[in-house]
Structure formats: structure tokens, C-alpha cells
Amino acid sequence: MPRRKSGIVTARADKRKRVHNTKVRTELKKAVKKFQALVAAKNTKEASGLLTKLYSLFDKAAKKGVVHPNTANRKKSRFKKSFSKISQAA
């Protein structure tokens, strides 16, 4: 446990940030799993709507520093690629 006042304040801030980051990551993971299920089921209409939401979620997470911007861009690119495969097949 920190002893100095600045350390105590930092510890409180870190706890708040950890809780927020965990919520954001959980929301991202749920959306990704849902998108992957829709792609596996070849449901293009719902997948296209969720794809835009995924883009938004990853952009916001990257902006806030929850995930690295390169990671967000890489994942967005892979989702778009998987969506393109099912949309061309349909």
C-alpha cells in the first residue's frame, strides 16, 4: 500500500481506470463474439449493422488508450475481410 498522499491518490485513480477499461474490453469482446457468430451463420444484414458498431467501439477504445490504435485497426481490417467473404458469397 502506498504511504504518501500522491501515491494514495494515484492508486485510487488506477482503480477507477481499471474498472472502466475492464467494462470497455468486456463490451468489445461481447460484440466481437456476436459478430463472429453472425458471420458464421452468414447473416449479412445484421452483421453489417454490427460491423459499424464494432468500428465505433474499437475507435473509441483506441482513442481512450484501452487498446493500442494499431491493434484496433488490425482487428477492424480482419472483421471487414471476413464480412466481405460472406457478402460476396451471398
pTM reported for the whole predicted model? 0.88
Residue 4 has phi, psi (to 5 degrees) of: -80, 155
Cα–Cα separations (whole angstroms), residue 87 to 30, 54, 79: 22, 17, 12
pLDDT in tens, the chain (90 residues): 899 999 999 999 999 999 999 999 999 999 999 999 999 999 999 999 999 999 999 999 999 999 999 999 999 999 999 999 999 876
Which cell is 78 given?
Answer: 480482419
Other CB atoms closer than 10 Å to residue 83's CB: what's the count? 19
- For residues 43 and 86, give the distance between their C-alpha atoms in angstroms, rounded to a whole number: 8
CATH 1.20.58.110 assigned to 5-89: yes
pLDDT at 1: 87
